Chains A and B, each alone.
Chain A
Amino acid sequence: ETGVTQTPRHLVMGMTNKKSLKCEQHLGHNAMYWYKQSAKKPLELMFVYNFKEQTENNSVPSRFSPECPNSSHLFLHLHTLQPEDSALYLCASSQDRGYQETQYFGPGTRLLVL
């Protein structure tokens, strides 16, 4: 595997379910990101991790819980979601944190909350 991979690619869940999204980067990068992409809206940065430490939480509701066990893996744990949370969730990584760094994106997980 090369680049940034995300699993699952599609997920349907009820509002009472608990699920997790997984992201893995094979680029040797130190920073990882979660974004939310909704139709007709700009990408929204959710979380940033640098060397496994969370450096930014962009006012994300607590029903989204990130986890970064090492610099190569990033998870997004989901519980008691709302229908408006349906979106494409993108993971990205960069060599280091900082706006000047090129971010490499995974293909995303398409989430539908019923």
Chain B
Amino acid sequence: AQSVTQPDIHITVSEGASLELRCNYSYGATPYLFWYVQSPGQGLQLLLKYFSGDTLVQGIKGFEAEFKRSQSSFNLRKPSVHWSDAAEYFCAVGAGGGGNKLTFGTGTQLKVEL
């Protein structure tokens, strides 16, 4: 079965600083990978996803993520963080075999200092 690990529970960065949120997955084949963001009082919103092809994926709000098969990682990055990026970020992996299931990580809470 697939699994997702987000090793950082909380991260604090200064506005304008760069950001990297870590995500490691466990899955035997090539996974389908997603990053979602959840603002307070809101549902989850898709930032970006990777299925195949170019391992560097561009998403909304200036985010990007890089798939590294050798490291089983799919880290999320942003070159310059804005105060409005403060939220919780979830990495997820989709299984093969026609299933519906997305397996989510426990999330990383991002705080942005002004």
- 12 residue pairs A–B, Cβ–Cβ below 8 Å: A6-B43, A45-B102, A55-B100, A56-B99, A56-B100, A90-B43, A98-B100, A99-B95, A99-B102, A100-B51, A107-B42, A107-B43
A residues apposed to B, CB below 8 Å: 4, 6, 31, 33, 40-43, 45, 48, 55-56, 58, 90, 92, 97-100, 102-108
Q: Are A99 and B32 in contact (CB under 8 A)?
A: yes
Docked complex Cα distance between A40 and B108 (Å) = 10
User: In the complex, which residue of chain B has the Cβ closest to the Cβ of A33?
Assistant: B100
Q: Are A102 and B46 in contact (CB under 8 A)?
A: yes
A4 to B36, CA, bound (A): 16
**Chain A, residue nearest B42 (CB):** A107
The answer to whether the Cβ of B81 comes within 8 Å of any Cβ in the partner chain is no
- CB-nearest residue of chain A relative to B41? A107
Query: Closest B-chain residue to A9, C-beta based?
Result: B41
Q: Are B42 and A42 in contact (CB under 8 A)?
A: no
* Contact yes or no, B45 A105, CB < 8 A: yes
- Which chain B residues lie closer than 8 Å to A92 at the CB level? 43-44
Q: Which residues of A contact B105 (CB under 8 A)?
A: 42
Q: How many cross-chain pairs have Cβ atoms below 8 Å apart between A and B? A: 59
| CB–CB B46/A90 < 8 A | no
CA of A99 to CA of B96, assembled, Å: 7
Measured between alpha carbons, how far is A106 from B41 in the docked complex, in Å?
10
- Name which residue of chain B comes closest to A108, CB basis: B43
Q: Which of B96, B100, B103 has most A Cβ within 10 Å?
A: B100
Interface size on B, residues (CB 8 A): 25
> Which A-chain residue is minimally distant from B96 (CB atoms)?
A99
For A104, the chain B residues whose CB sits under 8 A away are 46
A102 in contact with B49 given A55-B100, A108-B43 (CB within 8 Å)? yes
Inter-subunit contact A99/B43 (CB<8 Å): no
A40-B106, A42-B4, A43-B90 as given contacts; A99 in contact with B101, CB under 8 Å: yes
Complex Cα gap A80–B64 (Å)? 44
Question: B residues 69-93 with Cβ under 8 Å of A?
Answer: 90
- Across the A-B interface, give the 4 residue pairs with the lowest CB-CB distance, nearest first: A99-B94, A105-B43, A43-B104, A105-B44
